[in-house]
Amino acid sequence: MPLAACATTGAAAWSAHTPGSAATVDHRAWQLFLDRHSFTGADGVTRVAYAEVPVTDRELLDQYVAGLQQVAVGRLDRAEQLAFWLNLHNALMVRVVLAHLIARSPDDIDLGGPFASGPWTATLTEVAGRPVSLQAIRTEALRPVFRDPRWHYGLCDATLGGPSLPRTAFHGATVDRALEDAAIAYINHPRAIRIEADALVLNAFWRRYRGDFGGTDAAVLDQIASYADRELRAELHPGRPIRWIDDRRLNEWPGT
């Protein structure tokens, strides 16, 4: 059952935690949605059959998000908090696309908000009475609390170029291993990194979040190397020119 709402507000709302807490969050509804509507293509990229989601499963997603609104995040331990934020972000991202099925890219969805280009800064829900946007999850809940850039690999922005939507809901007990697997899967996929004769081709994902990966191209390459397979790792020379790519098309299942 959802935990009771926590009264903490302000910046401290997301930094507070309860070490050793046995409290968990129920993510079964999100897992059911993923089982029914997400698919991994032959290219290894997960897509969502957005147009085929029935009203009943949209309501299921709404109910799941409503339950997360009531969670007392400060009563969770760190691992459970991390799983909570990753699942909430991805569920909100899917819900936004479901409300804008005409969009060919999430960047085309303008929900307003400061410097709006896409749905990133718009308030999409509340948690413990505090407004939450997709960007706020990254910049307020994850970045200042979890000083480990692996959480980026667990967040789906609904594009084909970014990290895939995880088809298994995150849980505190297994979130560390899940993020390791997500990092390995993304880094070793050609949509993220390609070696060409004249350049190292990197997805602009790392340029957008360079600050979280060390702040320099060299630091980014070091982080990538820790998850790259042997052949790719051998090609990650700091002096090699970098060319950036970015596939911002929606991660919709073909035919939807």
pLDDT digits (tens, 9 = 90+) for 67-84: 999 999 999 999 999 999
pLDDT of residue 2: 34
How far is Cα 83 from Cα 65, in angstroms, rounded to an integer?
14
Report the first-to-last Cα separation within the chain, whole angstroms.
Answer: 34
State residue 12's pLDDT score. 55
pLDDT on residue 215: 95
Q: Under DSSP, is residue 116 helix (H, G, I), strand (E, B) or coil? A: coil
User: pTM for this structure?
Assistant: 0.92
> Which residues of the chain, if any, have pLDDT below 50?
1-10, 256
* Range list of H helices, 106-150: 134-136
Q: How far apart are CA 154 and CA 221, in angstroms?
A: 19
Spatial CA neighbour of 46 closest among 135, 138, 162, 137: 162
Residues 242, 227, 173: CA angle, nearest 5 degrees: 135
Dihedral of the alpha carbons of 126, 127, 128, 130, in degrees to the nearest 10: -50
CB atoms within 10 A of CB 226: 10
Kindly tell me the burial class for residue 19, based on how many C-beta atoms sit within 10 Å of its own C-beta (0-12, 13-18, 19 or more). exposed
Residue that is written with structure tokens 């009264």 in the block: 7
Residues 6+ apart with CB under 8 A from 147: none
Residue of 7, 125, 156 lying closest to 74 (CA atoms): 7
Task: Please give the pLDDT value at position 128.
Answer: 87
Please tell me whether residue 81 adopts helix, strand or coil conformation. Answer: helix
How do residues 179-205 score in pLDDT, each as one tens digit?
Answer: 999 999 999 999 999 999 889 999 999
pLDDT in the model for residue 116:
54
pLDDT attached to residue 113: 57
pLDDT confidence of residue 238: 80
Amino acid of residue 17: H
3-state secondary structure of 5: coil
Task: Quote the pLDDT of residue 1.
Answer: 30
Round to whole Å and give the CA distance between 192 and 228: 11
